[in-house]
């Protein structure tokens, strides 16, 4: 509880959330694939890291064409991850440790093996026909319009049984649900209620900005006249998607203390303005939305400043930001910083920013030990995107390799053969090794999270920039009435001087370069290369 404002501590606003890719977190039965019992066994680790909630990528029954993002039964756990009993135990044990559990909810499409789709495809007059998007082609087998899938190729597939095309925004094994149907939303919300009733704390809403399509099925405009490149004008961010997001908010608000996080994907450089539209005003929108701008930012203080500033400026009244650097679809942030030099130092600067910004931080598993993208040999590629586009694009597996717990051959992840190869650096990069090293990235994360937990200003305070990063350093205040925190981040490998005129000194709470508890004087400061320092300002 904040004594001044009376606002209580809200886990999805003031806590830190950790994203688990279940295939790769911890295997418990030696089949080489991570599972629920594996996650249960690592709750202590998450607790020690200071995590308040986990978002787990999908674990529902699935043919696994897209590694669980193709669901064939929303009410069952896929046996590869364990049983429903295991899952219920996970919720209980996580809750005992004060860790909330967020599931991934895939609304845009199901698997083509989902009984709903099998029925829908069986005849034109099947009662579930309209639950999916079926259309006559232009001249029978020619697609109804020019819509392309972001995974490549046509977004329509002709089905000879009924002589119509169905829409699949992703792979053809992932037919799109029809959110304009009168019945479907209610049916789908029942699937969500099933998990809410079991005690799940919220949902990450997969591509929520794509779920509704243009009513008139108009052609998307082309970019540079090239059919493969199009502006997704009629396939993304339709008003209906935003309206459905608001309905989901109502649904989750009928339970206590739940949350929703929308994936509002936009291609580089990201689109904060659109992400903010899903937050609407206060409770008319979802709780949180991912803006991809920080993920796509180049390694430059000014560029990060612009992303952050734009994001906050676009937030509606009462809208709360969240921030993220990596996820399971894109390269790990540590390898996105260019030139591959000083990656560890840069990771410390970036994570200090993430954990001192206003908004809920989301960490991607392994980020806290600086796990790298892994080069996957062609024959071991699992991601259908990598298989399809190799060698031009080798897919998303590189950011999905097993968590590196120890330096043993399979890194303590499995006793069997891991489903994806481990990174070659396991001998020098693991949780066990970093736990014992006070200067490690893991301890850097732990200390920062601990600091965030003890500081009202870091959890709830306003964000007031001092510099806009143009000189290579980003500096900002996080303020409440009682606490004023100054964050100094040097994004360059050079010394930078910096002065703050309105305050004289402060106490160092956290620093990559200085001793904590000492005082820092704010005139003519020399900020070291890749220095990240957090100070409590004294008047």
Q: Which residues are known catalytic residues?
A: 206, 263
106 binds, among ligand NOJ, Ca ion, none (CB under 5 to 8 A by kind): ligand NOJ
What residues have CB less than 8 Å from 18, skipping those under 6 apart? 46, 49, 51, 53, 54, 55, 362, 363, 365
Strand runs (DSSP E) across 216-329, as ranges? 222-223, 226-230, 259-263, 288-290, 322-324
Say whether residue 29 binds Ca ion (CB under 5 A). yes
- Is 67 or 491 the residue whose CB approaches ligand NOJ more closely? 67
35 binds, among Ca ion, ligand NOJ, none (CB under 5 to 8 A by kind): Ca ion
- Minimum CB–partner distance for residue 251 and ligand NOJ (Å): 21
User: Could you give the CA distance from residue 183 to residue 127 in angstroms, rounded to a whole number?
Assistant: 10
Stretch that binds Ca ion, among 27-35, 217-225, 300-308, 497-505 (CB under 5 A): 27-35
- Minimum CB–partner distance for residue 456 and ligand NOJ (Å): 33
Sign, CA dihedral 89-90-91-94, equals positive
Question: For Ca ion, which residue of 16, 33, 353, 371 counts as binding (CB under 5 A)?
Answer: 33
Helices (H), 198-254: 239-253
User: Could you give the CA distance from residue 432 to residue 407 in angstroms, rounded to a whole number?
Assistant: 8
Say whether residue 86 binds Ca ion (CB under 5 A). no
- Is 119 or 329 the residue whose CB approaches ligand NOJ more closely? 329
- Is 11 or 290 the residue whose CB approaches ligand NOJ more closely? 290
Q: 396 vs 18, 30, 207, 393, CA distance in Å? A: 19, 24, 17, 9
- Is 66 or 367 the residue whose CB approaches ligand NOJ more closely? 66
- Minimum CB–partner distance for residue 381 and Ca ion (Å): 21
Helices (H), 50-110: 84-96
Stretch that binds Ca ion, among 34-42, 64-72, 190-198, 327-335 (CB under 5 A): 34-42
Asked if 23 contacts 40 with a C-beta cutoff of 8 angstroms, the reply is no
Say whether residue 27 binds Ca ion (CB under 5 A). yes
- Minimum CB–partner distance for residue 30 and Ca ion (Å): 7
Asked if 326 contacts 364 with a C-beta cutoff of 8 angstroms, the reply is yes
Report the first-to-last Cα separation within the chain, whole angstroms. 25
Number of residues this chain uses to bind Ca ion (CB under 5 A): 5
User: Could you give the CA distance from residue 351 to residue 139 in angstroms, rounded to a whole number?
Assistant: 54
- Is 57 or 297 the residue whose CB approaches ligand NOJ more closely? 57
- Minimum CB–partner distance for residue 396 and ligand NOJ (Å): 7
User: Could you give the CA distance from residue 187 to residue 459 in angstroms, rounded to a whole number?
Assistant: 37
204 binds, among ligand NOJ, Ca ion, none (CB under 5 to 8 A by kind): none
Contacting positions for ligand NOJ (CB under 6 A):
66, 69, 106, 170, 206-207, 328-329
Stretch that binds Ca ion, among 21-29, 56-64, 83-91, 223-231 (CB under 5 A): 21-29
Stretch that binds Ca ion, among 24-32, 340-348, 377-385, 433-441 (CB under 5 A): 24-32
* Strand partners of residue 169: none
- Is 69 or 445 the residue whose CB approaches ligand NOJ more closely? 69
- Minimum CB–partner distance for residue 458 and ligand NOJ (Å): 29
User: Could you give the CA distance from residue 362 to residue 276 in angstroms, rounded to a whole number?
Assistant: 17
Q: Closest Cα to residue 16, out of 506, 525, 529, 450?
A: 450
- Is 128 or 328 the residue whose CB approaches ligand NOJ more closely? 328
Question: For Ca ion, which residue of 19, 35, 68, 353 counts as binding (CB under 5 A)?
Answer: 35
User: Could you give the CA distance from residue 172 to residue 65 in angstroms, rounded to a whole number?
Assistant: 10
The residue nearest Ca ion at its CB is 35
Buried b (16+ CB within 10 A) or exposed e, 67-104: bbbbbbbbeebbebbbeeebbeebbebbeeeebbbbbb
Q: Closest Cα to residue 286, out of 8, 6, 12?
A: 12
- Minimum CB–partner distance for residue 58 and ligand NOJ (Å): 8
Say whether residue 403 binds Ca ion (CB under 5 A). no
Interface positions with Ca ion (CB under 5 A): 27, 29, 31, 33, 35
């Amino acid at each position: 509880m904040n004594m001044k404002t009376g606002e209580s501590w809200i886990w999805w606003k003031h806590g830190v959330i950790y994203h688990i890719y279940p295939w790769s977190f911890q295997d418990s039965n030696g089949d080489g694939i991570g599972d629920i019992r594996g996650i249960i066994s690592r709750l202590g680790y998450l607790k020690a890291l200071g995590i308040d909630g986990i978002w787990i990528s999908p674990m529902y029954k699935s043919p696994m064409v897209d590694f669980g993002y193709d669901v064939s039964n929303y009410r069952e756990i896929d046996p590869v991850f364990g049983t429903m009993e295991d899952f219920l135990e996970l919720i209980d044990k996580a809750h005992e440790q004060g860790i909330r559990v967020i599931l991934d909810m895939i609304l845009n499409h199901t698997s083509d093996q989902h009984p709903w789709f099998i029925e829908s495809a069986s005849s034109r007059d099947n009662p579930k026909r309209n639950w999916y998007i079926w259309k006559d082609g232009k001249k029978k087998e020619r697609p109804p319009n020019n819509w392309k899938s972001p995974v490549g190729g046509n977004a329509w597939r002709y089905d000879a049984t009924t002589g119509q095309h169905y829409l699949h925004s992703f792979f053809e094994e992932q037919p799109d649900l029809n959110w304009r149907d009168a019945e479907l939303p209610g049916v789908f919300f029942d699937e969500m209620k099933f998990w809410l009733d079991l005690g799940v704390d919220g949902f990450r809403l997969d591509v929520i900005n794509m779920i509704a399509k243009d009513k008139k099925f108009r052609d998307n405009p082309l970019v540079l006249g090239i059919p493969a490149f199009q502006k997704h004008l009629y396939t993304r961010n339709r008003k209906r998607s935003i309206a459905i997001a608001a309905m989901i908010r109502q649904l989750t608000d009928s339970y206590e203390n739940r949350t929703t996080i929308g994936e509002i994907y936009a291609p580089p450089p990201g689109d904060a303005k659109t992400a903010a539209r899903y937050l609407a005003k206060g409770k008319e929108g979802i709780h949180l939305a991912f803006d991809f701008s920080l993920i796509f930012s180049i390694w430059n203080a000014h560029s990060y400043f612009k992303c952050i500033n734009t994001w906050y400026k676009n937030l509606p009244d009462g809208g709360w930001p969240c921030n993220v650097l990596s996820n399971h679809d894109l390269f790990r942030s540590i390898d996105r910083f260019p030139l591959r030099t000083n990656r560890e130092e840069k990771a410390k600067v970036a994570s200090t920013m993430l954990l001192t910004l206003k908004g809920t931080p989301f960490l991607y598993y392994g980020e806290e030990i600086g796990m790298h993208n892994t080069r996957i040999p062609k024959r071991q590629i699992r991601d259908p995107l990598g298989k399809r586009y190799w060698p031009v694009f080798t897919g998303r597996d590189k950011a999905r390799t097993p968590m590196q717990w120890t330096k043993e051959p399979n890194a303590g992840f499995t006793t069997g053969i891991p489903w994806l190869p481990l990174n070659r650096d396991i001998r020098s990069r693991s949780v066990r090794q970093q736990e014992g090293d006070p200067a490690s990235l893991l301890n850097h994360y732990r200390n920062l999270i601990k600091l965030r937990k003890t500081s009202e200003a870091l959890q709830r305070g306003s964000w007031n920039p001092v510099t806009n990063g143009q000189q290579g350093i980003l500096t900002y205040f996080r303020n409440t009435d009682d606490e004023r925190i100054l964050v100094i981040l040097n994004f360059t490998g050079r010394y930078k001087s910096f002065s703050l005129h309105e305050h004289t000194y402060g106490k160092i709470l956290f620093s990559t370069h200085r001793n904590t508890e000492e005082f820092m004087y704010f005139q003519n400061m020399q900020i070291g290369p890749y220095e990240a320092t957090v100070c409590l300002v004294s008047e």
